[in-house]
Amino acid sequence: MKMRYEWVFSLVLFYGCGQSTDSGALPKATTAQISIIEDGRASISFPSGFSPVKTASRNLPSPQGEYKYTMYSAERGPDACSLGYADYPDATWKNGSEIVMDTIRDGRVRQGDTLEKETKWSLQGFPARTHRFASVRDGKTIYERHDMIIVKNRLYDITCIGIGQDGGRDSPEVQTFFNSIKILSK
Protein backbone atom coordinates (compact mmCIF):
# COMPACT_ATOMS: atom_id res chain seq x y z
CA MET A 1 0.00 0.00 0.00
CA LYS A 2 2.92 2.34 0.63
CA MET A 3 3.77 2.52 -3.09
CA ARG A 4 0.16 3.27 -4.05
CA TYR A 5 -0.03 6.11 -1.59
CA GLU A 6 3.34 7.42 -2.71
CA TRP A 7 1.80 7.61 -6.19
CA VAL A 8 -1.34 9.36 -4.90
CA PHE A 9 0.85 11.57 -2.72
CA SER A 10 2.88 12.54 -5.81
CA LEU A 11 -0.40 13.76 -7.34
CA VAL A 12 -0.88 15.94 -4.26
CA LEU A 13 2.58 17.38 -4.77
CA PHE A 14 2.00 17.85 -8.52
CA TYR A 15 -1.32 19.60 -8.13
CA GLY A 16 -0.03 21.63 -5.20
CA CYS A 17 2.44 23.47 -7.43
CA GLY A 18 -0.10 25.64 -9.31
CA GLN A 19 -1.28 29.17 -8.65
CA SER A 20 -4.06 29.77 -6.16
CA THR A 21 -7.04 32.01 -6.82
CA ASP A 22 -7.01 35.33 -4.96
CA SER A 23 -9.43 34.10 -2.31
CA GLY A 24 -7.94 30.62 -2.18
CA ALA A 25 -11.41 29.17 -2.75
CA LEU A 26 -12.54 27.18 -5.76
CA PRO A 27 -13.84 29.31 -8.66
CA LYS A 28 -17.57 29.29 -9.51
CA ALA A 29 -18.89 26.17 -11.24
CA THR A 30 -20.10 26.05 -14.82
CA THR A 31 -20.84 22.45 -15.90
CA ALA A 32 -20.56 18.99 -14.33
CA GLN A 33 -18.99 15.82 -15.68
CA ILE A 34 -20.32 12.40 -14.79
CA SER A 35 -17.96 9.44 -14.97
CA ILE A 36 -18.91 5.80 -14.76
CA ILE A 37 -15.79 3.78 -14.15
CA GLU A 38 -14.77 1.43 -16.93
CA ASP A 39 -16.26 -1.73 -15.43
CA GLY A 40 -19.56 -0.03 -14.56
CA ARG A 41 -19.35 -0.74 -10.81
CA ALA A 42 -19.45 2.91 -9.62
CA SER A 43 -20.18 6.43 -10.80
CA ILE A 44 -19.31 9.91 -9.61
CA SER A 45 -20.11 13.45 -10.74
CA PHE A 46 -16.96 15.57 -11.00
CA PRO A 47 -17.21 19.24 -10.01
CA SER A 48 -18.19 21.62 -12.78
CA GLY A 49 -15.62 23.94 -14.28
CA PHE A 50 -12.81 21.39 -13.98
CA SER A 51 -10.75 19.98 -16.86
CA PRO A 52 -12.06 16.97 -18.77
CA VAL A 53 -11.68 13.81 -16.70
CA LYS A 54 -8.41 11.96 -17.33
CA THR A 55 -7.85 8.27 -16.67
CA ALA A 56 -4.60 6.56 -15.72
CA SER A 57 -3.89 2.97 -14.64
CA ARG A 58 -0.83 1.41 -13.17
CA ASN A 59 0.12 -2.03 -11.87
CA LEU A 60 1.60 -1.83 -8.38
CA PRO A 61 3.24 -4.41 -6.15
CA SER A 62 2.15 -5.27 -2.62
CA PRO A 63 3.21 -7.93 -0.12
CA GLN A 64 -0.02 -9.79 -1.00
CA GLY A 65 0.57 -9.63 -4.77
CA GLU A 66 0.37 -7.17 -7.65
CA TYR A 67 -2.79 -5.15 -8.25
CA LYS A 68 -3.99 -2.58 -10.80
CA TYR A 69 -4.76 0.94 -9.54
CA THR A 70 -6.98 3.11 -11.77
CA MET A 71 -7.55 6.82 -11.25
CA TYR A 72 -9.99 9.27 -12.79
CA SER A 73 -9.01 12.90 -12.17
CA ALA A 74 -9.91 16.45 -13.11
CA GLU A 75 -8.22 19.70 -12.17
CA ARG A 76 -8.78 23.42 -12.04
CA GLY A 77 -5.70 25.51 -11.33
CA PRO A 78 -4.05 24.10 -8.21
CA ASP A 79 -7.19 22.18 -7.21
CA ALA A 80 -7.81 18.55 -8.16
CA CYS A 81 -10.48 15.93 -7.57
CA SER A 82 -10.10 12.22 -8.22
CA LEU A 83 -11.72 8.83 -7.93
CA GLY A 84 -9.30 5.93 -7.75
CA TYR A 85 -9.85 2.26 -7.15
CA ALA A 86 -8.04 -1.04 -6.89
CA ASP A 87 -9.09 -4.65 -6.47
CA TYR A 88 -6.69 -5.95 -3.85
CA PRO A 89 -5.67 -9.58 -3.44
CA ASP A 90 -7.85 -11.46 -0.92
CA ALA A 91 -4.95 -11.70 1.57
CA THR A 92 -5.11 -7.90 2.00
CA TRP A 93 -8.41 -8.23 3.87
CA LYS A 94 -7.51 -11.10 6.24
CA ASN A 95 -7.55 -8.73 9.26
CA GLY A 96 -10.62 -6.80 8.08
CA SER A 97 -11.41 -3.54 6.31
CA GLU A 98 -10.96 -1.40 9.45
CA ILE A 99 -7.32 -2.49 9.74
CA VAL A 100 -6.72 -1.66 6.06
CA MET A 101 -8.17 1.85 6.50
CA ASP A 102 -6.17 2.32 9.73
CA THR A 103 -2.98 1.32 7.90
CA ILE A 104 -3.62 3.80 5.08
CA ARG A 105 -4.33 6.63 7.55
CA ASP A 106 -1.28 5.81 9.66
CA GLY A 107 0.95 5.67 6.58
CA ARG A 108 -0.11 9.17 5.59
CA VAL A 109 0.64 10.49 9.08
CA ARG A 110 4.07 8.79 9.05
CA GLN A 111 4.80 10.55 5.74
CA GLY A 112 4.26 13.88 7.47
CA ASP A 113 0.62 14.68 6.71
CA THR A 114 -1.44 16.09 9.57
CA LEU A 115 -4.68 14.24 10.22
CA GLU A 116 -7.17 16.96 11.08
CA LYS A 117 -10.27 14.81 11.35
CA GLU A 118 -11.48 11.26 10.79
CA THR A 119 -15.09 10.19 10.37
CA LYS A 120 -16.30 6.59 10.08
CA TRP A 121 -19.48 6.04 8.07
CA SER A 122 -20.99 3.70 5.47
CA LEU A 123 -22.23 3.98 1.90
CA GLN A 124 -24.98 1.62 0.80
CA GLY A 125 -23.97 -0.63 3.70
CA PHE A 126 -20.23 -0.67 2.86
CA PRO A 127 -17.59 0.55 5.35
CA ALA A 128 -16.20 4.01 4.63
CA ARG A 129 -14.07 6.73 6.17
CA THR A 130 -13.38 10.39 5.56
CA HIS A 131 -9.96 11.80 6.39
CA ARG A 132 -9.08 15.46 6.31
CA PHE A 133 -5.36 16.02 5.90
CA ALA A 134 -3.11 19.07 5.69
CA SER A 135 0.51 19.10 4.61
CA VAL A 136 3.10 21.70 3.71
CA ARG A 137 5.05 21.35 0.47
CA ASP A 138 7.37 24.02 -0.88
CA GLY A 139 6.01 26.47 1.68
CA LYS A 140 2.38 25.95 0.61
CA THR A 141 -0.28 24.33 2.75
CA ILE A 142 -2.14 21.65 0.84
CA TYR A 143 -5.55 20.62 2.15
CA GLU A 144 -7.13 17.31 1.30
CA ARG A 145 -10.35 15.48 1.89
CA HIS A 146 -9.90 11.78 1.31
CA ASP A 147 -12.79 9.30 1.43
CA MET A 148 -12.32 5.52 1.31
CA ILE A 149 -15.08 3.04 0.61
CA ILE A 150 -14.54 -0.71 0.65
CA VAL A 151 -16.76 -2.93 -1.49
CA LYS A 152 -15.70 -6.57 -1.12
CA ASN A 153 -12.01 -6.54 -2.17
CA ARG A 154 -12.21 -3.16 -3.93
CA LEU A 155 -11.05 0.05 -2.28
CA TYR A 156 -12.39 3.31 -3.71
CA ASP A 157 -10.41 6.52 -3.01
CA ILE A 158 -12.26 9.80 -3.52
CA THR A 159 -10.01 12.82 -3.06
CA CYS A 160 -10.09 16.57 -3.42
CA ILE A 161 -6.97 18.66 -2.82
CA GLY A 162 -6.36 22.38 -2.94
CA ILE A 163 -4.37 25.31 -1.62
CA GLY A 164 -5.55 28.21 0.53
CA GLN A 165 -8.60 28.69 2.75
CA ASP A 166 -8.99 25.02 3.58
CA GLY A 167 -8.40 24.06 -0.07
CA GLY A 168 -12.08 24.41 -0.92
CA ARG A 169 -12.86 21.14 0.92
CA ASP A 170 -16.07 22.57 2.35
CA SER A 171 -17.35 24.30 -0.79
CA PRO A 172 -20.82 23.21 -1.94
CA GLU A 173 -19.51 21.83 -5.24
CA VAL A 174 -16.86 19.71 -3.52
CA GLN A 175 -19.49 18.40 -1.11
CA THR A 176 -21.66 17.53 -4.13
CA PHE A 177 -18.70 15.67 -5.71
CA PHE A 178 -18.19 13.52 -2.61
CA ASN A 179 -21.93 12.93 -2.16
CA SER A 180 -22.36 11.84 -5.80
CA ILE A 181 -20.45 8.54 -5.52
CA LYS A 182 -22.73 5.60 -6.20
CA ILE A 183 -21.92 1.91 -6.08
CA LEU A 184 -23.74 0.48 -9.10
CA SER A 185 -22.94 -3.22 -8.69
CA LYS A 186 -21.41 -5.29 -5.96
Are the C-beta atoms of residues 88 and 71 closer than 8 Å to each other? no
Cα distances (Å, whole numbers) of residue 94 to 31, 99, 102, 123, 156: 42, 9, 14, 22, 18
Q: Say how far apart CA 163 and CA 150 lie, in whole Å.
A: 28
| Helix or strand run (H / E) with residue 45 | strand 42-46
Are the C-beta atoms of residues 41 and 59 closer than 8 Å to each other? no
Spans of the chain, pLDDT less than 70: 1-33, 186
Q: What is the pLDDT of residue 4?
A: 32
In the CATH scheme, what is the code of domain 2-18+34-183? 3.40.1000.10
Q: What is the pLDDT of residue 19?
A: 27
Q: What is the pLDDT of residue 33?
A: 67
Read off the pLDDT of residues 55-80 as tens digits, 9 standing for 90 and up. Answer: 999 999 888 888 999 999 999 888 89
Question: Domain residue spans in the chain?
Answer: 2-18+34-183
Name, in order, each residue with C-beta under 8 angstroms of 14's C-beta and a sequence gap of 6 or more: none
Name, in order, each residue with C-beta under 8 angstroms of 145's C-beta and a sequence gap of 6 or more: 130, 131, 132, 159, 160, 167, 169, 174, 178
Q: What is the pLDDT of residue 31?
A: 46
User: What single-letter amino acid sits at 127?
Assistant: P
Name, in order, each residue with C-beta under 8 angstroms of 95's C-beta and a sequence gap of 6 or more: none
